[in-house]
Amino acid sequence: MPLLELTDVHARYGQVRALHGVTLTIDEGEIVALLGANGAGKTTTLRAISGVVARDGGVAFDGKPLPRSPEAAARAGITHVPEGRGILAELTVRENLMMGAYLRRDRKAVADDLERAYQELPWLGQRRNQQAGTLSGGEQQMLALERALMARPRMLLLDEPSLGLAPLIVQEFFRLVTRLNREQGVTVLVVEQNANVALDVSNRAYLLEVGRVALEGQSAELREHEGVRRSYLGY
């Protein structure tokens, strides 16, 4: 049974339809990439899953229908790191991390996870009382990831994490993502413009074109696919 299953999902912004029936499945423990050009519906797919936009069609998580609201998605174990990272700019780094653990009741384990985050990224610990809005873009992206982990999610939705970041930081970011996936079994659905990076880190990928799945397959195979190579990898 797949962990997440989308069946013929439609979504729209007001009168503008953005998804025309997306069907995809993600198994527990996978990293799946969602590729496509601007406006193909990648971000909207993530928003439809977490319930930020109105949607029709079936969304099942862990075998159960997923209610359409961000709060419900978070409660089900899905943490969506939105485009633009969703940092709480006026709160401190520490407060941002604590908000990641908002739904958890195990205070001691939360405190341990906070320490672990500080050990993983020592600069986070040093700047724990700094306003998160004063961090650089790359630092904010790392904070957003660590905050998402504070929720101990079963599934991470990452929206364009590489946007506007230096290549080295993108590498560091995805190194952390793959490690979490390996060590903690977190399932990941990542939307990326940077198809190269996305195909590197993912097991499988879906290619969206104008609100529909145009192609799917193992990431290694898609890398060799003629159309993908020409349109998205640029060689």
Partner 1 sequence: MTQFVQQVVAGLGDGAIYASLALALVLIYRATHVINFAQGEMGMFSTYIAYALIVHHGWSFWPAFVFTIFVSFVGGAAIQQTVIRPLARAGELTIVMATIALLVLLNGLASWIWLPDEKILPNPFPTGTWSIGDVQIPQQSVYNLVIVLACVVLLWLLFNFTKLGLALRASAVNPVASRLLGVRVTWMLALGWGFAAALSAVAGILAASAQFVFTPTFMQVTIIYAFAAAVVGGIESPLGAVVGGLALGVTINLLGTYLDEFVTPDMRLPVALAILLVVLILRPAGVLGRTVVRRV
- Per CB under 8 A, residues contacting partner 1 are 50, 52, 69-71, 73-75, 79-80, 82, 86-91, 95, 98-100, 102-103, 131, 133-137, 140, 147, 151
Nearer to partner 1, 94 or 204 (CB): 94
Render the burial of 49-79: b for 16+ CB within 10 Å, e for the rest. bbbbbebeeebbbbeeebebeeeebbebbbb
183, 225, 177, 232: which is closest to 32 by C-alpha? Answer: 177
DSSP state of 232: I
* Smallest gap from residue 182 Cβ to partner 1 (A): 25
* Smallest gap from residue 133 Cβ to partner 1 (A): 4
Distance CA 220, CA 77 (A): 29
Nearer to partner 1, 47 or 204 (CB): 47
* Smallest gap from residue 130 Cβ to partner 1 (A): 10
Nearer to partner 1, 90 or 226 (CB): 90
* Smallest gap from residue 86 Cβ to partner 1 (A): 3
The β-bridge relationship of strands 212-218 and 204-209 is antiparallel
Under 8 Å CB-to-CB from 177, ≥6 apart: which residues? 31, 145, 156, 158, 161, 188, 190, 201
* Smallest gap from residue 65 Cβ to partner 1 (A): 18
Nearer to partner 1, 19 or 151 (CB): 151
Structure tokens at 131: 């306003």
Nearer to partner 1, 102 or 123 (CB): 102
